A and B are shown apart, each in its own frame.
Chain A
């Protein structure tokens, strides 16, 4: 009983931190469950996938209601993240725990470095208009597929790069239990010319399908325990909701710094697991 409440509290902390810092919960949930509760990494990844779908669906619903997310572009890339998730979910059960731990540690160090540089990880949905944005022709003149995937105030490009990146994000999501926003948002924003706020919202929307594909594979393999996933997911949902309301009252500079330290320490602990 106490362990269930602790998992709920841990999930709430992960959800709140993730929401405050603009990160998906997966980066936090997997280390919490493996290092904090001694769960096998693959089981923690399965639970994390459920948590990221939950937070993604709630946020994506709001983004779609406000017309911030680009549904057409998101669904087009989703086809490839879903394919990547199918591949990743299938090979996840063939890889050793050590290799997955190593990959996760590398991911944590990458996120820590990104946050330390002060960009990328905190993705402000209300940011200024994007300098990469290019005005598109009037709707009647939109003839090509790229035009039709573009928004009212920007034109996307490099769809091929987006397809490759989306497939990679899907594989990463399935292997490591993350939403893949760390790959998709920079890809859409920097490589494809999607404004940051649209890229963030669209990436968030895409997480649901990407993680759903791999979560189904994990469930069929028996890789998700309902007694772990239930309290953790509820905790993450409550924490993320609270975090989104606390955002304006918290000094994110110190929180980000603290978080970088936590990520580095966690990455080292994951690497120790590899060695052990």
Chain B
């Protein structure tokens, strides 16, 4: 996708499509980052309005209750959603890249992308197992 397609010249067929894919991935990263900044900003404003000190210790992430806490306008819920959006941005980039590589039948890169996602899944799975 980075001008390294073996059989196509840049600007034509899948070479041009690769450039478009990179632009799309770049825009996705920027858009999700701004969404995260928005959510975190709302959380910080609510935190300040509620007079919460950061040094008092915040709640741990509880995915099951984030929705209800968002409706209750609790600052921690907005902050957690913003933090998850921050983390989701690069992971989303890998997923979109994997789809683009699959469309170009570049199976080596698809495998690498899936490998990255597998490492993330193993990291989450093994940590949950250890901490529960």
Contacts and interface: CB of A to CB of B under 8 A. Distances in A.
Nearest to A241: B37
A37 B57 CA distance: 13
A4 B90 contact: no
Contact of A90 (B29, B58, B126): B126
B32 interface: yes
Interface string B23-37: 101111110110011
Interface in B88-107: 89-91, 93-94, 97
A82 B54 contact: no
Interface in A3-50: 3-5, 7-8, 37-38, 50
Nearest to B82: A230
B36 A82 contact: no
Contacts of B22: 64-65, 67, 71
Contacts of B41: 234
A249 B26 CA distance: 28
Contacts, number: 222
Contact of B33 (A61, A147, A214): A61
A228 B58 contact: yes
A30 to B, nearest CB: 16
A63 B109 CA distance: 20
Interface string A201-228: 0000000110111111101111011111
Contacts of B131: 220-221
Q: How large is the interface on A (under 10, 10 to 19, 20 to 34, 35 or more residues)?
A: 35 or more
A211 B120 CA distance: 11
B115 interface: yes
Contacts of A143: 6
Q: How large is the interface on B (under 10, 10 to 19, 20 to 34, 35 or more residues)?
A: 35 or more
A168 interface: no
A152 to B, nearest CB: 5
Closest 6 CB pairs of A and B: A208-B90, A64-B26, A61-B29, A65-B26, A61-B30, A226-B79
Interface of A: 1, 3-5, 7-8, 37-38, 50, 53-54, 56-58, 60-67, 69-73, 75-76, 78-79, 82-83, 85-86, 89-90, 139-140, 142-143, 145, 147-152, 208-209, 211-217, 219-222, 224-231, 233-234, 237
Given A3-B53, A225-B57, 11 more contacts: A57-B90, A61-B25, A61-B28, A61-B33, A64-B22, A67-B22, A226-B59, A227-B53, A227-B57, A230-B44, A230-B75
